[in-house]
Chains A and B, each alone.
Chain A
Amino acid sequence: EPEVTQTPSHQVTQMGQEVILRCVPISNHLYFYWYRQILGQKVEFLVSFYNNEISEKSEIFDDQFSVERPDGSNFTLKIRSTKLEDSAMYFCASRLTVATNTGELFFGEGSRLTVL
C-alpha cells in the first residue's frame, strides 16, 4: 500500500543550527502538508503546498521555516536557526485532492526533532 515516508526518524541538533526534514509523499498525490506535534499537545497545522507553491500557512510558519519540492518527489521542511521550542514531532502528509469526498489525508511516521 502506498505510504508517506519521512527521514530522518529522529534528529538531534544544537540551538541555532539549521535542519532539513525530508518527505516522500504518495506518488500521485497533489497536496502536501507539514504538521507538528509538541509532546503532550495537539497536532498543529504548519503549511500546505500545491502546484509548487505555498497555498496556506499558519501563524507558526514564520520566516524561520521554508518548504520546497526540489525534484518532483521529495518535499522538504527547512528550519533555520532552531530554537528549543522547535523540539517536536514533525509530520508530513499528502492527499490526492481537497474535495470533501476524496480528501483523505495520509500521514508519514514523523521526524522527531530535539533541539538542545
Chain B
Amino acid sequence: KQEVTQIPAALSVPEGENLVLNCSFTDSAIYNLQWFRQDPGKGLTSLLLIQSSQREQTSGRLNASLDKSSGRSTLYIAASQPGDSATYLCASQGGSEKLVFGKGTKLTVNP
C-alpha cells in the first residue's frame, strides 16, 4: 500500500528565499507524481505533473524533480513571494486511477 509523506509539515521563510519542499513515497512503481497547491478552505490547484520517465518538470519559478529509485520528489520554489503562501500537496499515481496524497507542507512567506 502506497504511503506518501511530506516533510516538513510547516515552513516559514522570508520573501525572496529559494526553498525546497520534500515528498517521499514507499512504492516506487508509480506512473506519475503531481504537485498541488491548496489555499485555506479552497480546492486543489495543479502545479506540475511529472511522469515516471521524467526527472524533472518546470513551470515558471517552480521546478519539480522525481527520483523513483529513492522514492522521492522535491518541489523547488525560486524567489519566494508572499503570494506563494499556501499548503503544497504531492500525490502519486500507481497501478490504479487513484492518487495517494501526502498531508502537505504549509508554507508561509513573510514580507
Considering only CB atoms and an 8 Å cut-off, how many residues of chain B contact the other chain?
Answer: 26
Q: How far is the CA of A42 from the CA of B36 in the complex (A)?
A: 13
Known contacts A103-B49, A104-B49; decide if A48 and B97 are in contact (CB<8 Å).
yes
A55 touching B31, Cβ below 8 Å: no
Residues of chain B within 8 A of A105, CB atoms compared: 34, 46, 99
A43 touching B101, Cβ below 8 Å: yes
Give per-residue flags for B68-110: 1 if the beta carbon is below 8 A from chain A beta carbons, else 0: 0000000000000000000001010100111111111000000
Instruction: Say yes or no for B60: interface residue by CB 8 A criterion.
Output: no
Considering only CB atoms and an 8 Å cut-off, how many residues of chain A contact the other chain?
Answer: 28
Q: Please count the residue pairs between chain A and chain B whose beta carbons lie under 8 angstroms apart in the complex.
A: 60
Residues of chain A within 8 A of B93, CB atoms compared: 103
Residues of chain B within 8 A of A110, CB atoms compared: 42-43
A41 touching B98, Cβ below 8 Å: no
A103 touching B43, Cβ below 8 Å: no
Q: How far is the CA of A42 from the CA of B99 in the complex (A)?
A: 11
Contacting residues of chain B (39-68) with chain A, CB-CB under 8 angstroms: 41-46, 49, 51-53
Instruction: Say yes or no for A44: interface residue by CB 8 A criterion.
Output: yes
| Minimum CB–CB distance for A50 against chain B, Å | 8
| Minimum CB–CB distance for B98 against chain A, Å | 4
Instruction: Say yes or no for A56: interface residue by CB 8 A criterion.
Output: yes
Q: How far is the CA of A103 from the CA of B99 in the complex (A)?
A: 11
| Minimum CB–CB distance for B22 against chain A, Å | 16
Binding site for A on B (CB under 8 A): 31-32, 34, 36, 41-46, 49, 51-53, 89, 91, 93, 96-104
Inter-chain pairs besides A41-B103, A98-B97, A101-B32, 20 sampled, C-beta below 8 Å: A31-B97, A33-B97, A33-B98, A42-B104, A48-B97, A56-B97, A58-B98, A93-B44, A100-B51, A100-B52, A104-B34, A105-B34, A105-B46, A105-B99, A107-B36, A107-B43, A107-B46, A109-B42, A109-B43, A110-B42
